[in-house]
Structure formats: C-alpha cells, structure tokens
Chain A
Amino acid sequence: MNLRPLLLLLPLSALAQDDPWDDGAWEEDWGDEEQGMVWSGFAEAGLGTRFDTDELLDNRNTLEEVRWRIESDWQPGDVTVSLKADLGYDGIEEDWKAEIRDLTATFTIGESVDLKIGRQVQTWGTGDLVFLNDLFPKDYVSFFAGRDDEYLKAPGDAIRVTKFSQALNVDFVWTPVFEPDVYLTGERFSFYFPPADGNIAPTPPFSAPEPDKKFSNGEFALRLYRTIESTEYAFYAYRGFSKQPMFVPMNAFGASIRRPLGTGLANAETSFYDSRDGDDQLRFLLGYEWEARRNFTVGLQYYLERQDSADTRHMLTNRLTYRAGRDKHTWSLFTFYSPSDDDYYLRPTYSYRHSDQWSFTVGANLFGGNEQHTFFNQLADASNAYLRVRFHY
C-alpha cells in the first residue's frame, strides 16, 4: 500500500493530541472546538483466535489487526461535513486496509428538510441485533470476528432526505448503487454449502455476482414515523435486493411500535419481504427490556421468520448488561438461541474503560448446535475469543 496518505495525516494527529484540557487552569480553557476543526479518533489493536482449528483454513486466528481511526467534522457555511475513516493492516487478509465509514455533507433546506449526502452508516428499526426493516448493509464477518459492535453496520453511498413535521416525519434513502452485506466468503470463516453437504472455504474466496451497477438497480428505503405521547410508531418500505447472495430483487413493507410498558420498554416489529423469485418471507419480532436491578439491564426478544421454501425459524435472544464502578466496567452477554434450528450463538464481553484514552475489551463468539447446516452451527469451528486494546486521542 502507498504510505503517503498516512504520512500526510501525521501532523494532523499531532495537532489533535494537543489536548486543550492539559493546560492545568481548566477554569480558563473551555476548548475551541466550536471555532474550528477538531481531529479525533483512536488507534486499536485486536487479536482473536479459535478455540479449535478449522481444518479448512490455515489461519487459526479470526482477528489480527491494527487500525487507526480518524474523525473530524467542520462547518463551511450552513453545511456540516463529517469524516470517519479507518486505516490499518489486516493480518488475516494479509493486506493494508483503508475504509471510509462516513464522508457526508449535511444541510437543511427551508425549515424542515434535512439532507445527508455521501458515504454513511444508517440504522433504523426496533430490534436489538435482529433486523427486519433495516435493510442497510451489515458486516457479519466483522461481527463474528470480534470487532467492535460499530462494525456490524457497513457504510453505503447514499442520499438521505428527511422531512420533519408535526403530523409525520418522512425518511427517504436512495442508494444509487446496490450495497450488499459483507457475507461469509470462506476467507476468514468457512461456511455451509448445501451441494457439498458440509462447510467449504474456497480459494479464491467465494464471490457472488452483484446486480449491474445501474440506476434502475438502486435501492430505495422509506420510513414514516411519529412519536405520540411516549409511543413511537413507524412504517417502512424498501425496494432493492436481498442483502445476502444471491441478491434476489425484492420489495419489503413493514411497521414497528415501541413504548414504555411496566418498568421497561416493549417493542414489536414486522416486515414482509416480497421476493421476485416467489420465495416470500414474513418476519416478526417482539421485545422487552427492563432494568432488573440497579445497573443491571435485561433484554428479551422473540423473532420469527416464515419463508415459503423453508421451515419456520424461531429465535429467542437475551441481552444481559451489568455496569459497575461508574461505568468503568461493563459485562455483557448476548445470547441467540433458535429452538427450531436447535442452534445458538453466545456473545460474552467485558469492557474496561481505564481512562479517557485507554480501553480494553475481551470477549468471545461461541457458536453451536446439532445440525451442520443451521445458521449458527455452520460456524461452530469459528468459535473464538478476542482481545482489543484501544487508545483514544
């Protein structure tokens, strides 16, 4: 990789480390981020390794990388320009990586219309790590490998227009060139391949043909939403393609509701995927989250997926979060369990925020089940534990 961009950025990072709070007399110095550009971000090293080897793959590790995050935003005139970019080396792919996660211009037209144009990460819907009407790209490889949760959402090049009004808010997202999920290719993780009746890890890695890059293959996503009293209502529509291979043309329609119930929060969401190949799908989600004890939160979800060509899939999820020491320590366990597939995926993590600069995360991705072809159990040999160290500047 050409290292020149890195060198160019060095002086900027040196500037960013000139912390305005280090001047001692904090009464006098309130920072000047309002007046100009601020550069911030982090440097991170991550290492993750399998509990057992995957015979199909040479590298036992699932995560082996260093990355440098650069973030900034500045405001020329009435426009806000923001940037989030990662540079780093990935030891699994044996390559330098550069990714822009956010490079957008945001501005307001008139009183009530916001435009955000450029590369951006987008999220909507009420599920916790379960997605129905959120058909924005996701990166499951990062999610399974032990990267930060943030990387589950992949960026896409899009134009987002939001119209706000008392009666109804309208979100419209146009992604001119289809942006698929980052799917399993056999490079970092092997995956189940029905004709082989087993896992494969092809070389070169599996790559599915994507829809032609033309405007008529763009993605359109729509959300109508409103909060009345404490209840959030939303309706969704989507026109595009299924986000996983083989990228079948589809439309989707759905709705969600989220509101306080008892001492917690309840949500329900449904979505209907109208697929061009006739293999339609209905998705349904019910969730409830509450603080069971001081600093201890419990979340439960029931998820259903009914597809014409397959048996109905049921899934239960559970999120337990415990924070201690004024949020210095965070213990978390997220469990996916499917009674119909008889498989599971556990995500225990422990994060320690040592200071405003240093944080540490250890965690594991544990997959298992009974039958090799099920969604989580195909990753049984990918079960891993990882450690990440981050320095924020």
Chain B
Amino acid sequence: MFTRQLTAMALLILGSTVAAETLTSADEIIAKADIASYYAGADGRSEVRMIISDAQGREQRRQFTVLRRDIDDAGDQQFLVVFSQPSDVRNTVFLVNKHIDKDDDRWLYLPGLDLVKRISAGDKRTSFVGAHYFYEDVSGRRPSDDEHELVETSDSFYILSHTPKDLGSVEFANYQTWIDRQTFLPMKIEYTNPAGDIYRRVEVFEVAEFDGHPTVTTSRVSDLLTGGKTDMQFRYIKYDVDIPDSVFTERSLRNPPRDWLKRPAE
C-alpha cells in the first residue's frame, strides 16, 4: 500500500517529465505497459461485452461485469466476473486470485447445481468463455515470461518484440507490440507462429480516460488463420471505488455483491 502511494506521488511529481522522455529500456516500457493495461487505479469496475464471430459470420454474445482489486501494483490481484448474458451462463460467477509467484486460484460458481467448482491451474492460452480472447489476454501475461526487445521507436509507438522464455508453454514463436508512447497502452499485438506466419492480432480501436486513467474501450482479436474474430467493448468504467477485500470471497459467488455490481451513472 505504502509503495503504491509513493509510486502515485512520484508519478504526480514526475508525470510530465516521464511522458516527454523517450524510454530506451524494453523492460521499463513493458513494465509501464503492464501497469497501464492491467493495474489502473487501486481497484475498478467495468461492464464488458463481446461479439464472437466465426469465419461464416455466425455470432455469439457474452456480457459480464468485472470487479478488480489490486493487492500490489504489478503484483497479485483479485477479480470477480459476473455473467449476465447469454441465458445459459446467466448468474455464473468467476472468482480469480491472480498470483505473480505461483498459480492463480480460480473458482467458478454454477448456479444450476449450487456448485462452487474450483478450477485447476491450467493453460492460460485457452479460450476465455468461448471467445478468441485467451484467459491471459484478460488477466495479463507476466512480463517475466518473455524476453523483450525494443525494435523501433516511432513518433507514436514503442515497437517491441517479445520471445517466450519457455517455448513449450505457448503456441507462438514470438509477438510484436505497438505501445502508445503517451498512455503506454499496447494498441496492436501481432503473434507469429513457429512457421513464421502472423496468425493472431489484437487491435485497440478506442481509448478513453476514466478517473484519470486512459482505458481501452473497444478492441478486437482476430484469428487470421480461420477468419474468426471477437470484438470486445468496455463500458460503465470506474476506478478507485474502494471495493473491499471481502467482495472477493465465496460469499460473492453465491450472493453476488449487488452494491458493487450496480451500474454507475455515466
């Protein structure tokens, strides 16, 4: 907590200088991108919806609300995800304690059986609720999982190339990110497979500022091999709302925290 306050103060004081400065360390850029993408504020809430399209243009939808609380910046986090659509997953709740130094703890509540199902630590590069997004895209890939290299610094972007330390654990050979120099949000990510083809692309279309934090509000992931894609939108975003620790417990699985899920006035 103290560290975060200190960091916040430092950012306040140094903010303008930092933004103007041109960074040359890939690790420093990726650390800032990690904070900007996944650790904005001390906590936050957002509603999310996705349209999942296959190559034939058939669409599926998902809608859910995410509550997040950081234990430490760039460290452990808690997530509560409550589904509202479609009807077969309505009231399904997903609780994640994300850990940096060990596997995440994950629970899924299945209302039909009143079952709190614990999910074993799994491959994080598998579909998140049927979307083209992976679990790892949603909760963040650990910067320490890759070697980072600054390839180019353009007027708008830091362009980085990332190579996984453990090739066996992922489906890509490397990926490249275009990180906005002002906001440190990755605006485009392209994944290259071992054959050397770019087969997967994540793009950000819209960014808006909420409570002082530039935030992605519209993005898309495309599967370039099959032609499928998932569009994702975020709305009703709030940061630093003081969500208590107790919200991220089994209690919220059976009885979702209405006060925190209530849609705020925009």
The stretch from A33-41, A52-60, A242-250, A377-385 touching chain B is A33-41
Of A80, A258, A359, the residue contacting B118 (CB under 8 A) is A258
Q: Are A232 and B118 within 8 A (Cβ)?
A: yes
Q: At the interface, yes or no: A215 with Cβ under 8 Å from chain B?
A: no
Residues of A with C-beta under 8 A to B251:
114, 162, 164, 169
Q: How many residues of chain A are within 8 Å of chain B by beta carbon?
A: 58
Contacts A21-B85, A106-B255, A326-B131; A355 near B58 (Cβ below 8 A): yes
Q: At the interface, yes or no: B114 with Cβ under 8 Å from chain A?
A: yes
Residues of A with C-beta under 8 A to B131:
326
- In whole angstroms, what is the CA distance A289 to B102 when docked? 17
**Residue from B255, B258, B263 having most chain A Cβ neighbours under 10 A:** B255
Q: How close is A18's CB to chain B, nearest CB, in angstroms?
A: 13
Query: Which residues of A from 206 to 251 have beta carbons under 8 Å from B?
Result: 225, 227, 230, 232
Residues of A with C-beta under 8 A to B132:
326
Q: Are A260 and B87 within 8 A (Cβ)?
A: no
Q: At the interface, yes or no: A95 with Cβ under 8 Å from chain B?
A: no
Contacts A149-B113, A153-B114; A264 near B123 (Cβ below 8 A): no
Q: Are A260 and B255 within 8 A (Cβ)?
A: no
The A/B interface has a contact count, at CB < 8 Å, of 119
Residues of B with C-beta under 8 A to A27:
233
Q: Are B263 and A34 within 8 A (Cβ)?
A: yes
Q: Are A26 and B118 within 8 A (Cβ)?
A: no
Q: How close is B222's CB to chain A, nearest CB, in angstroms?
A: 14
Q: How many residues of chain B are within 8 Å of chain A by beta carbon?
A: 49
- In whole angstroms, what is the CA distance A391 to B236 when docked? 31
Query: Which residues of A from 60 to 75 have beta carbons under 8 Å from B?
Result: 71, 73, 75
Q: How close is A329's CB to chain B, nearest CB, in angstroms?
A: 11
Residues of A with C-beta under 8 A to B125:
294
Residues of B with C-beta under 8 A to A326:
52, 127, 130-132
Q: At the interface, yes or no: B25 with Cβ under 8 Å from chain A?
A: no
Contacts A232-B118, A356-B60; A295 near B87 (Cβ below 8 A): no
Q: Which residues of A contact B (CB under 8 A)?
A: 21, 26-27, 30-31, 33-34, 38, 40-42, 71, 73, 75, 80, 106, 108, 114, 116, 120-124, 148-150, 152-153, 162, 164, 169, 225, 227, 230, 232, 258, 260, 263-265, 289-291, 294-295, 297, 323, 326-328, 353, 355-357, 359, 392-393
- The 7 A-B pairs of least Cβ separation, nearest first, read A40-B87, A150-B112, A356-B86, A291-B122, A326-B127, A123-B114, A265-B120
Q: Which residues of B contact A (CB under 8 A)?
A: 47, 49, 51-52, 58, 60-61, 63, 84-88, 90-91, 97, 102-103, 105, 112-116, 118-123, 125-127, 129-132, 233, 235-236, 246, 249-251, 254-255, 258, 262-263
